Structures are given as structure tokens and as C-alpha cells.
């Protein structure tokens, strides 16, 4: 595959990625932080208001509300809970539960859960009670949101519609990751260039961001029911994002690779410590989110200052792109973290962070494509120079250096004899004197071409001084001709 075809494929890939990203941005703005009431179908009602607290303890709370006077067939009541045990009762009868509300500490479930409690038409007008149990004091604002009542099909459609934008982003990330890995493998096989590492690191970052976004929604938990596994997948993908960024930036010809590697090891050590504390039942991961956010914010500040200094001192393209990308991502992270704590931990990732992450991925995708094109161009130049080192510029035959290497190879092959033929081109001086050196060169070119065609399957031809063509033939080739 020549250079033009390689660049054409890269451009097609870039256009395809831009189209996917444009559609993703459209859905981000269309679905981001909308009023959930506006998304409710005609047969589905928002059931988040009107609850009364009937019992309150430190880490447990019970609320109730009267069901509507009419209920449809196959009706459900849906609610979300974050790392809590939940029990739903109608008229004192348990219709749905998650975990054990009488347990405490590590015995309580981890992860976000979406519950569908079945409601029968005869339950109309009955009292609906819910008991929540958590590891820490419960804030009422953490409970009364995203509660719906209606047919299961309507509530399911509402859930899919609310999470459509994030799911689309996750699918785009998987596609980008697969394509980046394919291009990395092709680049490695074609050039052997170590630059393929940056593509692999970036593809892993894109994949991890997609996994984190998707596990932060309710889709996977709703489909699989494995809340604990999805909880760990969400935390692991979230905590592995910074190391992937630092490893990727470390491959971009920056002068601050030492700082990047230190930050990478700090985040990996933090991940290991957090997992050990959780698995040893010392501190749950949900209680370490403040420390994780603090480390991330400190890393953003350090990286911003470091890249700003890099940009000021060296003014390279890599430093400019890195500083711009980290600035966009860092700003969106800071705003998202502030929003998270102002809302007291409610909800999922903010639209601001999703949009910042999208811009970061888009910016570095374009930069990665340009790096790939640059590596292909440099590889083509190197290949051309290698050819020039062994080819004669005038005749296109292998040059004297190639002749000496071929002669050495034939001499070392002791089991075979070989023949060396020398051809002189007569009349070269007369052609130069009477018609000019250009005609003399043409005489040499045509003579070399005729000799090469005659020995094409017998031996190799080499220019030997100005007017002499040399051919080397092994005895094995001579027998066949």
C-alpha cells in the first residue's frame, strides 16, 4: 500500500469518526439534563413527589405514598438507589427488594440499582412503602428522583430514551477503539515504529471512557442484574483513565515525560490501595471518592502547569495540542466535580463533563491521525533512501555497493560456483563528444536495460564504472537457462 492510499484511508477514517462524533454531540445536547417530566410517555407518570417519611433512623429511612386509584395491567413502579438496600411493600406485602435492609456496612449492596416493582390493578389506592438502608446517614434528596409508575413497556422505553446519548457515545468509543487497534497493528507491521504505543494507549483511554459512561447509566444493570460487577467495572474504568492519559501524552515527544510517569505511577498505586482497602473490608470504595477526586484535581493542576511551561519553552505542536486537550478536559472535570458535590452526589455524569470528554477524544483523535500520517510519510522517505543506497541513480540497476555484497554472498555459498560477466558499452566517448552527455547517458541507460532484460531470470546486473555493466550468475540459474 503506497503513501497516497494510506493517507486516503486515514482521511476516510477521520471523516467517519467526525460523523459519529457529530451525531453524539447532537444527542448530548438534546438529552443533557432535561426535565425528566418532559420525557415521560403518555402512559407513564413521574412518581418522585408527594412522599412522606414515616420512620427515620441514622442509616435507614421509610417513606410512603398512596398509589393512584387506577392501575393498568403489567404495571410497574421503578426507582433508583445508589449502594443501598431497598425493600418495596404494597399494603404491608413485600413486592420487591434489593439486598437486606437489616444488614450494615459491607453486607449492604454496592453500585447503582434500578428496580422494577410489579403492580397489579387490585393494588390501586393502596399504600406504597419503601425502606432504604445505607452505610452512611441518608439524605432525603438522594431518594426522591427518577421514580416512575406505568406499564413496564412505557417505563422501559423511557429508560432507554434517557440513556440513549450516553449509550451512543459508548458505542462510538468501542468503534474508535477497534479501529485504532487495527491501525496500530497495521502500522507496527508496516513500519515497526514504536509510535504505535501512543495509538494503543489512546484506544484504551477511549474504550475505558466508553465503559465508564455506560456503567454509570442503568442499562447494563437493568439487562444483566449484576450490580456489584458493574460497580467495580465503573470504578476501575474511572480510576484507569488518568494513567492512560499520562501514558498517551508520554508518547507525544514532550519534554515532561518524567512528570507524566510519576503521575501515572501515583494513580496506579492509588488504585491498588483503594482496591486492597475495599477487598479487606477496611474502607468501601464509595467512601474514598473524595480522595480520588482530590488526587484527580491535583493531577490536573500539575499537568496544566507542566504543559503550560512546556508550551512556553518549546512552542511545539505537540505541547500546544496537549495543553489545549488537558485544558478542555480539566475544566470539564472541575465543573463536573463541583456540580457533583453541590447536588450531594445525586445523578450521573454531567453533560458538561460528557461534552468535555467528547472534545478531548475528538481533538486527540485528529492529532493521532496526523501522527499516523507523519509516521507513514517518514517511513516512505526512509524506504526511498534505502533504495537509493543500493540503486544506481542513472540506470536504475543495483549499484556497486550492491555488487560487492552480492559478490560476497556468492563467494560464501561454497556449494555453488558462479560466473561474472563484464559488458563494455562501445561508442560512449563519441556519443558524448558529438551529441552531448545527455545522449551518452541515454546510451548507457538503454544498454543497461537490454542487458538486464537478457539476464532477468539468470542473474543480477550492476553498473561497474562508467561504461561497464557487470552480471553475476550462480551455476544453478545457469543450468535452468
Helix intervals (H) in 251-344: 257-279, 289-314, 317-342
Q: What is the pLDDT of residue 285?
A: 87
Instruction: Give the residue-averaged pLDDT of 425-451.
Output: 80
pLDDT of 96 over the 60 cut: yes
> Which range (11-20, 252-261, 450-459) has the least confidence?
11-20
**DSSP letter string over 435-462?**
H-HHHHHHHHHHHHHHHHHHTTTTEEEE
Confidence of residue 466 (pLDDT cuts 50, 70, 90): low
In angstroms, the CA 159 to CA 148 distance is 10
Higher pLDDT, 129 or 195: 129
> Which range (74-83, 261-270, 460-469, 470-479) has the least confidence?
470-479
Q: Is the dihedral of CA 393, 398, 403, 408 positive or negative?
A: positive
In angstroms, the CA 358 to CA 368 distance is 15
pLDDT in tens, 393-403: 777 777 777 77
Beta bridge partners of 341: none
Instruction: Give the residue-averaged pLDDT of 349-357.
Output: 73
Residues 6+ apart with CB under 8 A from 307: 254, 256, 319, 322, 323, 326
With beta carbons less than 8 A apart as the criterion, state whether 398 and 406 touch: yes
Confidence of residue 295 (pLDDT cuts 50, 70, 90): very high
Beta bridge partners of 400: none
With beta carbons less than 8 A apart as the criterion, state whether 299 and 330 touch: no
In angstroms, the CA 360 to CA 255 distance is 21
Collapse the DSSP code of 356 into the 3-class scheme (helix H, G, I; strand E, B; otherwise coil) and give the result. helix
Counted residue by residue, the chain has a size of 481
Collapse the DSSP code of 125 into the 3-class scheme (helix H, G, I; strand E, B; otherwise coil) and give the result. coil
Q: What is the pLDDT of residue 89?
A: 92
Higher pLDDT, 102 or 375: 102
With beta carbons less than 8 A apart as the criterion, state whether 356 and 368 touch: no
Residues 6+ apart with CB under 8 A from 280: none
Confidence of residue 144 (pLDDT cuts 50, 70, 90): low
Instruction: Give the residue-averaged pLDDT of 61-69.
Output: 89
Beta bridge partners of 85: 133
Beta bridge partners of 117: 77
**DSSP letter string over 15-39?**
HHHHHHHHHHHHHHHHHTT--GGGG
Q: What is the pLDDT of residue 38?
A: 43
Q: How many CB atoms lie within 10 A of CB 294?
A: 11
Q: What is the pLDDT of residue 34?
A: 46
Helix then strand then coil, in percent of the chain rounded to 5, is 60, 15, 25
> Which range (26-40, 323-337, 413-427) has the least confidence?
26-40
pLDDT of 112 over the 60 cut: yes
What is the pTM (predicted TM-score) of this model? 0.72
Q: What is the pLDDT of residue 145?
A: 66
Sheet strand arrangement including 60-66:
52-56, 60-66, 127-133, 85-90, 93-98
Q: How far is CA 20 from the centre of its chain?
A: 14
Confidence of residue 267 (pLDDT cuts 50, 70, 90): very high
Q: What percent of the chain has pLDDT over 70?
A: 81
Tell me how far CA of residue 73 lies from CA of 78, 89, 124, 147, in angstroms.
15, 18, 11, 19
In angstroms, the CA 361 to CA 367 distance is 10
Q: How many CB atoms lie within 10 A of CB 291?
A: 13
Amino acid at each position: 500500500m503506497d503513501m497516497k492510499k494510506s493517507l486516503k484511508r486515514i482521511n476516510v477514517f477521520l471523516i467517519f469518526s467526525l460523523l459519529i462524533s457529530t451525531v453524539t454531540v447532537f444527542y448530548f445536547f438534546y438529552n443533557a439534563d432535561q426535565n425528566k417530566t418532559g420525557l415521560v410517555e403518555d402512559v407513564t407518570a413521574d412518581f418522585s413527589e408527594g412522599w412522606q417519611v414515616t420512620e427515620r433512623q441514622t442509616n435507614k429511612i421509610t417513606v410512603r405514598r398512596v398509589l393512584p386509584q387506577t392501575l393498568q395491567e403489567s404495571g410497574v413502579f421503578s426507582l433508583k438507589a445508589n449502594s443501598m438496600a431497598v425493600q418495596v411493600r404494597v399494603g404491608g406485602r413485600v413486592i420487591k427488594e434489593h439486598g437486606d435492609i437489616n444488614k450494615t456496612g459491607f453486607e449492604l449492596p454496592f453500585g447503582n440499582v434500578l428496580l422494577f416493582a410489579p403492580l397489579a390493578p387490585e393494588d390501586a389506592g393502596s399504600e406504597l412503602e419503601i425502606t432504604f438502608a445505607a452505610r452512611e446517614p441518608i439524605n432525603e434528596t438522594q431518594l426522591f428522583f427518577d421514580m416512575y409508575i406505568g406499564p413496564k413497556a412505557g417505563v422501559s422505553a423511557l429508560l432507554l430514551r434517557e440513556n440513549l446519548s450516553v449509550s451512543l457515545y459508548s458505542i462510538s468509543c468501542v468503534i474508535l477503539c477497534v479501529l485504532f487497534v487495527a491501525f496500530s497493528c497495521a502500522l507496527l507491521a508496516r513500519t515497526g515504529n514504536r509510535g504505535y504505543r501512543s495509538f494503543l494507549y489512546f484506544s484504551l483511554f477511549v474504550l475505558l471512557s466508553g465503559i465508564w459512561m455506560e456503567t454509570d447509566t442503568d442499562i447494563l444493570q437493568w439487562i444483566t442484574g449484576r450490580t456489584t460487577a458493574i460497580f467495580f467495572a465503573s470504578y476501575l474504568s474511572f480510576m484507569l483513565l488518568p494513567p492512560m492519559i499520562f501514558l498517551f501524552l508520554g508518547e507525544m515527544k514532550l519534554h515532561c515525560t518524567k512528570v507524566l510517569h510519576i503521575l501515572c505511577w501515583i494513580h496506579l498505586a492509588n488504585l491498588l490501595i483503594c482496591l486492597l482497602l475495599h477487598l479487606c473490608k477496611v474502607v468501601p470504595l464509595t467512601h474514598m471518592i473524595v480522595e480520588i477526586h482530590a488526587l484527580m484535581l491535583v493531577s490536573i493542576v500539575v499537568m496544566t502547569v507542566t504543559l503550560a511551561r512546556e508550551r512556553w519553552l518549546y512552542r511545539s505542536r505537540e505541547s500546544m495540542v496537549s495543553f489545549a486537550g488537558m485544558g478542555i478536559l480539566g475544566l470539564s472535570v472541575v465543573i463536573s466535580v463541583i456540580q457533583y458535590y453541590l447536588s450531594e452526589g445525586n445523578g450521573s455524569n454531567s453533560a458538561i463533563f460528557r461534552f468535555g470528554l467528547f472534545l478531548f477524544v475528538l481533538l486527540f483523535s485528529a492529532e493521532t491521525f496526523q501522527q499516523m500520517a507523519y509516521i507513514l510519510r517518514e517511513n516512505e522517505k526512509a524506504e526511498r533512501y534505502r533504495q537509493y543506497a543500493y540503486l544506481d541513480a542513472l540506470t536504475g540497476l543495483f549499484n556497486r555497493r550492491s555488487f560487492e555484497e552480492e559478490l560476497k554472498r556468492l563467494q560464501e555459498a561454497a556449494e555453488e560456483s558462479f560466473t561474472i560477466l563484464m559488458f563494455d558499452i562501445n561508442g560512449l566517448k563519441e556519443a558524448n563528444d558529438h551529441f552531448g552527455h545527455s545522449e551518452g547517458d541515454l546510451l548507457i541507460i538503454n544498454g543497461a536495460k537490454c542487458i538486464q532484460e537478457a539476464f532477468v531470470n539468470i542473474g543480477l546486473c550492476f553498473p561497474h564504472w562508467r561504461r561497464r555493466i557487470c552480471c553475476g550468475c550462480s551455476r544453478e540459474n545457469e543450468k535452468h537457462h
